[in-house]
């Protein structure tokens, strides 16, 4: 796997090139969920299928998505943690509760896990400036552009920066989303740091921090056109060390009952 640094400060932004995922890409593209009834809508018009949902569990049982998840969980995530947070404080959560107990209580590691979110944006949707959840460590974005959308700058995530005299004013680890009430001068003070091209060339990511401001301005799409991506997050695991095994067993039982 190759990790290509793009920006170091004030946000670590990078791109991942992975041969296994490149081989999977066409199959993933073809099986990206297109039934909008599977998605829920947030306040800014984004449609999403979230990690802990029955819909996501059903999708992730299918071969290409299951293989993608295995590549991330077994290979990519550990390499990213080693590169960007090299102090060794984190350990990936396991379905084996004994290993979780060993890492958390004996080795004093902080357990982390991954979540997956399918995202579909329609014409007029947007993502307001924010820095991401306090539980996140690394955010990854895998884009699924159509041939016509490939490389379009206007569909890629925008990262923002501020001058040194304004930087402290916009320190925001708690992820207060932009609004005219909280940050009335945001768009006057912010400068564009980098805009990711909406491309299938690789997987883009960044390290969450107090200044990891990013957004997506209102998207302009034709009728029946969508902006599709898979968001993959590395975040703090705050549940019981037994819960991964419990959740996996419970979700399998639900899907079995439903015949999915």
CATH code for the domain of 253:
2.60.120.620
3-class secondary structure, 235: strand
More confident residue, 99 or 168: 168
Q: 3-state secondary structure string, 150-196?
A: CCEHHHCCEEEECCHHHHHHHCCCCCCCCCCCCCCCHHHHCEEEEEC
Mean pLDDT over all residues of the chain?
89
Q: Give residue-wise pLDDT tens across range 54-77.
A: 888 889 888 999 999 989 887 898
148, exposed or middle or buried, with CB in 10 Å at 0-12, 13-18, 19+?
exposed
**Picking from 145-149, 197-201, 249-253, which range would have the lowest pLDDT averaged per residue?**
249-253
Q: Give residue-wise pLDDT tens across range 152-173.
A: 989 999 999 999 999 999 999 9
Burial profile 203-238: b = 16 or more Cβ within 10 angstroms, e = fewer = bbbbbbbbbbbbbbeebebeeeebbbbbbbbbbebe
Please state, in angstroms and rounded to a whole number, the distance separating the CA atoms of residues 243 and 50.
18
Please state, in angstroms and rounded to a whole number, the distance separating the CA atoms of residues 170 and 178.
10
Closest among 157, 156, 166, 164 to 187, alpha carbons compared = 166
Q: Let me know: does 193 contact 161? Beta carbons within 8 Å.
A: yes
Residue 229 structure tokens: 């991506």
For residue 147, what are the domain limits? 2-258
Number of domains composing the chain: 1
Burial profile 15-45: b = 16 or more Cβ within 10 angstroms, e = fewer = bbebeebeebeeebeeebbeeeebbeeeeee
Residue 51: C-alpha distances to residues 3, 23, 189, 191, 247 (Å): 25, 24, 35, 33, 12
Closest among 13, 233, 64, 201 to 137, alpha carbons compared = 233
Please state, in angstroms and rounded to a whole number, the distance separating the CA atoms of residues 78 and 234.
10
Instruction: Give the rounded percent of residues in the chain with a pLDDT score beyond 90.
Output: 66
Burial profile 175-188: b = 16 or more Cβ within 10 angstroms, e = fewer = eeebeeeebeebee
Q: Give residue-wise pLDDT tens across range 124-133.
A: 999 999 999 9
Which residues touch 108 (CB under 8 Å, ≥6 apart)? none
Q: Let me know: does 35 contact 114? Beta carbons within 8 Å.
A: no
Please give the pLDDT value at position 250.
Answer: 43
Q: Let me know: does 211 contact 170? Beta carbons within 8 Å.
A: yes
3-class secondary structure, 69: helix
More confident residue, 20 or 260: 20
Q: Is the pLDDT of residue 88 over 50?
A: yes
Please state, in angstroms and rounded to a whole number, the distance separating the CA atoms of residues 74 and 130.
29
Give this prediction's pTM. 0.88
């Amino acid at each position: 796997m190759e990790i290509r640094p793009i920006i170091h400060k004030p946000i670590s932004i990078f791109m991942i090139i992975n041969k296994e995922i490149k081989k999977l890409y066409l199959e993933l593209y073809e099986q990206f969920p297109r039934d909008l009834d599977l998605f829920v809508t947030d306040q800014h018009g984004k449609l999403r299928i979230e990690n802990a949902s029955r819909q996501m569990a059903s999708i992730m049982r299918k071969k290409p998505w299951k293989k993608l998840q295995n590549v991330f969980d077994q290979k990519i995530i550990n390499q990213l943690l080693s590169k960007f947070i090299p102090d060794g404080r984190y350990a990936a959560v396991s379905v084996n509760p004994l290993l979780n107990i060993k890492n958390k209580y004996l080795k004093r590691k902080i357990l982390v896990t991954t979540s997956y979110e399918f995202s579909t944006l329609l014409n007029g949707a947007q993502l307001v400036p924010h820095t991401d959840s306090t539980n996140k460590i690394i955010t990854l974005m895998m884009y699924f552009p159509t041939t016509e959308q490939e490389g379009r700058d206007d569909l890629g995530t925008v990262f923002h920066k501020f001058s040194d005299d304004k930087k402290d004013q916009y320190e925001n680890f708690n992820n207060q989303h932009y609004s005219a009430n909280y940050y009335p001068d945001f768009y006057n003070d912010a400068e564009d740091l980098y805009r990711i091209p909406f491309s299938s060339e690789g997987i883009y990511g960044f390290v969450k921090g107090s200044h990891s401001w990013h957004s997506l301005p209102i998207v302009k799409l034709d009728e029946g056109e969508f902006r599709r991506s898979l968001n993959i997050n590395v975040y703090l695991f705050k549940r019981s060390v037994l819960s991964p095994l419990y959740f996996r067993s419970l979700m399998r039982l639900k899907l079995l009952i439903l015949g999915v």
